[in-house]
Structure 1
């Protein structure tokens, strides 16, 4: 894998982690400000968890 592609994949992973953290922070803020319900809390937690756990698979096919 080229250095450029490796860096792009690493950057993508970092953006996903930052987004997951932002979603968690947002859910905490909503709860403090408005007391969000359990369903919304679960949806936001599931979204953040999916972002943290998902894996990117890159496959190269050649003839």
Structure 2
């Protein structure tokens, strides 16, 4: 689910950047911030692959 959230952030960022470009507004800071939000969301999905969290949340597929 977190990986899907990261993709959703990227889609939203793309739409907002296109809108701001069409209006002649600054867009680079928006793209950087939402790109980093997407990266952090994706990174949080990878944290759940650690053995400690797999055990804590009972995510082992054994």
Q: TM-score, normalised by structure 2?
A: 0.46
Q: TM-score, normalised by structure 1?
A: 0.45
